[in-house]
Amino acid sequence: MGAGTGIEWTDATWNPIGGCSIHSPGCIHCYAQKLAGTRLKRHPLYAGTTKLVKGKPVFNGVLTAADDDAAVWRWPLSWRGAKQPVMGAGKPSLIFVGDMSDLFHEDRPDEVIDRVFAIMALCPQHIFQVLTKRADRLRRYLLDPHTCNRIYGLVCDLTLDGFAKVVLMAPTSDEELAPPGRRIYLDKWPLPNVWIGVSVENQSYADERIPLLLDTPAAVRFLSCEPLLGPIDFSESSWAAQPKLDWIIAGGESGHDARPMNPQWARWLRNQCADAGVSFFFKQWGEWRHKGPKPSETPGRFALAPREFDGPIVEVDHYPRQFASFGSTVLERIGKKEAGRNLDGVEHINFPRQP
């Protein structure tokens, strides 16, 4: 079914699919594979989707999807929405699609992706957030001229089969004569209630994935820079492109093996977003935060810090205090809750402007 979530930038998660595989460095400490191989290992969607590597569960590439008649497919249609939407009172609720998997995994059948998009089309009262590391598959799928026809054909089939009670509206329909009820407009593509995003953890993956995202049809395009493993500079081309990015989420890594994030990387993203008028959401510091007094901030640009954290992590008296350094910047491992989400004393909880 759908579920409430602690993810700060959404209201709920929806998982009709399961399974994945390691794709890039940001995947290494993925919370989803840990859950799939431990607490959820007997769940039908996650059973058999992981293997043990050095005693830890790792996604093995086995992909799953709920049966067509499973209740999870109907959940978005019946959910009334969040009591207190993260975007604010009176705003639509946000649903993160497939946080335990990657919808656009290279081995995921188009038929499964089509069904997910058909359900999203049937729920214009919600906004769905689709996030992937497979930007190439995402682009091919949404640029395919047959994709829209397949999805709306499935929408019609599901409606006629009684799966959902909606009013299908052709572009020339007279709204005044239409019966009351939720409406699906067959001329809306890309779907206006679906935000499309890609995960980028450092400069090399930003350079690879962002141009593909910018060439993908979407009502809203966003980035998740979490875990942020290095600085990302958008100055060359991304901001100048049309269409451009609408939203950037940034955050450090959490969990037992979390890698530290240099504070300058987060500030660098924040400054670039401010310059370009792009909404910025700072999700978390993660396990690590700057030790000691808040450093004074130099106006203007920050010099780029080391491109990746190359250690070492120093243990003091073995436990519980750990420190890491980026040059003169020293971080202490204090835990996600204590580290919080304030960046230079400000909580950045901005969302993209609605199209």
For 210-238, write each residue's pLDDT tens digit: 999 999 999 999 999 999 999 999 876 55
Mean pLDDT of the chain: 86
How much of the chain, in percent, has pLDDT values that exceed 90? 68
> What phi, psi does 9 have (nearest 5°)?
-100, 15
CA separation, residue 320 to residues 284, 292, 330, 334, 354 (Å): 21, 17, 16, 9, 45
Q: Of the candidates 13, 191, 14, which has an alpha carbon nearest to the alpha carbon of residue 118?
A: 191
Q: What is the pTM of this model?
A: 0.89
Helix (H) or strand (E) holding 13: strand 12-14
Segment 170-176 shows an average pLDDT of 48
Looking at per-residue confidence, does 327 or 336 come out higher?
336
Is 50 exceeded by the pLDDT of residue 178?
Answer: no
pLDDT at position 184: 72
Domain residue limits, the chain: 2-347
Q: Which of 167-171, 175-179, 186-190 is predicted most confidently?
A: 186-190
Q: What is the CA radius of gyration of the chain?
A: 21
Binned at pLDDT 50, 70 and 90, residue 1 comes out as low
Looking at per-residue confidence, does 107 or 158 come out higher?
107
Looking at per-residue confidence, does 171 or 49 come out higher?
49
pLDDT at position 187: 76
Least confident of 17-21, 193-197, 343-347: 343-347
Rounded to whole angstroms, how far apart are CA atoms 313 and 303? 23
Largest CA distance in the chain: 75
CA-based angle 221:222:224, to the nearest 5?
155
CA separation, residue 47 to residues 21, 62, 155 (Å): 14, 9, 30
Q: Which of 10-14, 238-242, 267-271 is predicted most confidently?
A: 10-14
Binned at pLDDT 50, 70 and 90, residue 2 comes out as low
pLDDT tens for 131-146 read 999 999 999 999 999 9
3-state secondary structure the chain: CEEECCCCCCCEEECCEECCCCCCHHHCCCHHHHHHCCCCCCCCCCCCCEEEECCEEEECCCCEECCCCCHHHHHHHHCCCCCCCCCCCCCCCEEEECCCCCCCCCCCCHHHHHHHHHHHHCCCCCEEEEEECCHHHHHHHHHCHHHHHHHHHHHHHHHHCCCCCCEEECCCCCHHHCCCCCEEECCCCCCCCEEEEEECCCHHHHHHHHHHHHCCCCCEEEEEECCCCCCCCCCCCCCCCCCCCCEEEEECCCCCCCCCCCHHHHHHHHHHHHHHCCEEEEEECCCEEECCCCCCCCCCCCCCCCCCCCCCEEEECCCCEEEEEECCEEEEECCHHHHCCEECCEECECCCCCC
pLDDT at position 120: 96
Is 70 exceeded by the pLDDT of residue 90?
Answer: yes
Q: What is the torsion angle, in degrees rounded to the nearest 10, for the CA atoms of residue 343, residue 346, residue 349 and residue 351?
A: -100
Binned at pLDDT 50, 70 and 90, residue 298 comes out as very low
Is 70 exceeded by the pLDDT of residue 117?
Answer: yes
pLDDT at position 296: 41
pLDDT tens for 277-287 read 999 999 999 99
Q: Answer yes or no: are the C-beta atoms of 330 and 305 closer than 8 Å.
A: no
Rounded to whole angstroms, how far apart are CA atoms 280 and 344? 14
Q: Which residues pair with 4 in a beta bridge?
A: 12
pLDDT at position 294: 44
pLDDT at position 321: 66
Binned at pLDDT 50, 70 and 90, residue 180 comes out as low
Segment 319-336 shows an average pLDDT of 78
Is 90 exceeded by the pLDDT of residue 171?
Answer: no
pLDDT at position 292: 55
